Amino acid sequence: MIRMNPILNKDLDGKKVLVIGLGITGVSLVEFLARQKVDIIINDCKDEAALSPILEKLQDIRCRYILGKHPETLKEAGEPDMLIPSPGVPLDIPIISEAKLKKIPVLGEIELAYKHMQAPILAITGTNGKTTTTALVGDMLKRAKMKTEIVGNIGTAAISKIEQLGQEAHCVMEVSSFQLETIEAFRPKSAAVLNITPDHLNRHKSFEKYAQLKFDVFSNQTAKDYAVINADDETCLKMLTKQEVKSKVILFSRLRELEEGVFLKEGKVLIKEKHQDTIVIDRDRILLPGDHNLENAMAAIGLAWSAGVPLKAIRDSLEEFKGVEHRIEMVDCVNEVTYINDSKATNPDATEKAVLSVKRPIILLAGGMDKKSNFGGLIDRFDDRVKQLVVYGETADKLVEDCREKNFYSVTKKRDLEEAVRYAYQVASPGDTVLLSPACASWDMYSDYEERGNHFKQLVSQIKRK
């Protein structure tokens, strides 16, 4: 039986909850809390004018607003009994620091959702491939006629689907490092870490902390649960030896045969458990292109297998699943030049995977908000693949400097994405691929990678009409 409008906790009836951030997650939190016996306080750094469409959506909800900045103190915020920051809100702002010091709960949205759902969770985290793998796992479960909700960092807050996540359902959840910063009891039935490479160091300060956050997805699991881990990823293996993982480990590898797990052998993807091999699919029949997507597929197989998904549903999904928007997405072919949208590549490792996956020669469009990333490894992969790099945004000068240090001089700086696309159109030759794969966050110019990707597609459509 599904619990409708579950209350947070008997002890919280009538108490104050401060929601910080009014993005997708924040709005879903407010809508959920409005159905509880809770006094809601909403805070966002944006002012009333900037938030006008969202505030209109919430106009029937009884709450108090603090807009234009974060309150400096708990007193200024009205002495809340609990703080729920959205994932994009840094946890070192003064009011959160004060709350932690005073032992006032600081709870994340996925933790809150976990406390109120009955469905088993299949959680996917890692630096790259999360969205593709999450969507693929969800597709596998749906093909098996299993009631499934796909939520989390993929774009739908888990808290918005609470009423649908009863015992008969499955929750497939993309989880970011930002979300894992605020978990306490969160315990997925199955969880996967796809890979770990440097990212979000401007927030997490060190790679070690970032890697630990990823592995925290396993922290509350027991021997009854499953941990799907990339055996080809050096950091994943180091973390596995460093940290006790109590759940049953399912390794996956595209490079070597495993004693148990999911791996590639003689062109076929196999599952091996208790010394018995099960052929899942021929590699050539997996529709998603590239080695990185083979790894994503193997992780999805491990998760789906642990959830009891029949082999036929897994195989059908792998043969037919086309991928997700903004991830190596074919946009159009104009004058024999292919335009590909990979706006979801928000770090150098993701862009490297795109560069190795698409048809050469490549005119690469990159740049955006600086996350303190190192671009040297990406530039090393250019070789004869990238014939021209067009940079823009906050990191443009850093990209130019890193290219010079690597003796790559075919780089041009433009003011913004529109100028970059226009320039790429001018210099492209038939057979080239113009690849938007920014290697940076979008927040210097766009609200998110989706807005950036949609703008790119709009610019390409304008080119086609010329």
- Please determine, for residue 190, whether its predicted confidence score (pLDDT) is greater than 70: yes
pLDDT at 386 over 90: yes
CATH number of the domain at 55, please.
Answer: 3.40.50.720
**Residue 6: inside a domain, yes or no?**
no
Among 320, 353, 383, identify where a domain stops: 320
Specify the CATH number for the domain of residue 343: 3.90.190.20
pLDDT average, residue stretch 296-311: 97
Domain co-membership, 291 together with 379:
no
- Of 57, 86, 106, the residue at which a domain comes to its end is 106
156 and 222 inside one domain: yes
Per-residue pLDDT at 155: 84
Can you say which residues are annotated as belonging to the binding site for ATP? 126-132
Is 7 among the domain residues? no
CATH number of the structural domain spanning residue 273: 3.40.1190.10
352 and 307 inside one domain: no
Instruction: Please answer whether residues 358 and 328 qualify as being in contact, where contact means their C-beta atoms are separated by less than 8 angstroms.
Output: yes
Query: CB 45: neighbour CB atoms within 10 A?
Result: 15
In a domain, 67, yes or no: yes
Please indicate, yes or no, whether residues 459 and 388 belong to a single structural domain of this protein.
yes
Pair (193, 163) in one structural domain: yes
Q: Are residues 132 and 229 in the same domain?
A: yes
Position 289 scores a pLDDT of 83
Q: Which two tokens stand for residue 384?
A: 């004869």
How many structural domains comprise the chain? 3
Judge if 252 and 145 occupy the same domain.
yes
Res 208 pLDDT > 50: yes
Question: Is 251 inside any structural domain?
Answer: yes
User: Which of 72, 106, 140 corresponds to the end of one domain?
Assistant: 106
In a domain, 89, yes or no: yes
Task: Give the predicted TM-score (pTM) of the model.
Answer: 0.81
The answer to whether 73 and 98 have CB atoms below 8 angstroms apart is yes
Residue 433 bridge partners (DSSP): 338, 362
Could you report the per-residue pLDDT of 144-180, keeping only the tens digit for each? 999 999 999 888 999 999 989 988 999 999 999 999 9
Judge if 131 and 268 occupy the same domain: yes
Q: Of 323, 306, 285, which Cα lies nearest the Cα of 133?
A: 323
| Residue 454 sits in the same domain as residue 335 | yes
Instruction: Please name which of 210, 212, 219 lies closest in space to residue 247, comparing C-alpha atoms.
Output: 219
For residues 410 and 314, membership in a common domain is answered with no
Percent of the chain beyond pLDDT 70?
97
pLDDT for position 464:
73
Residue 5 domain flag: no
CB of 253 closer than 8 Å to CB of 234: no
| pLDDT score at 244 | 87
Distance CA 36, CA 16 (A): 11
Within 13 Å, how many C-alpha atoms sit on residue 325's CB side?
10
Mean pLDDT for the chain? 92
Does residue 4 lie within any of the structural domains? no
pLDDT in tens, 440-451: 999 999 989 999
Q: Which residues contact 390 (CB under 8 A, 6 or more apart)?
A: 363, 364, 365, 366, 411, 412, 413, 414, 420, 423, 424
DSSP conformation class of 23 = S
What CA–CA distance (Å, rounded) separates 53 from 331? 30
Whether residues 383 and 251 fall in one domain: no
Instruction: Produce one character per residue of 239-264: b if its CB has 16 or more CB atoms within 10 Å, e if not.
Output: bbeeeebebbbbbbbbeeebeebbbb
H/E stretch holding 396 reads: helix 396-405
- Regarding whether 156 and 57 lie in a shared domain, the answer is no
| pLDDT over threshold 70, residue 4 | no
Which residue has 């918005």 as its token pair? 160
**Structural domain range at position 38:** 15-106
pLDDT in tens, 221-244: 999 999 999 999 999 999 999 888
Query: What is the structure's pLDDT at 224?
Result: 97
The model's confidence at residue 466, banded by pLDDT at 50, 70 and 90, is low
Q: Look at residue 154 in the predicted model and tell me its pLDDT.
A: 87
pLDDT for the residue numbered 1:
32
Residue of higher predicted confidence among 277 and 275: 277
pLDDT score at 358: 86
Is 450 within a domain?
Answer: yes
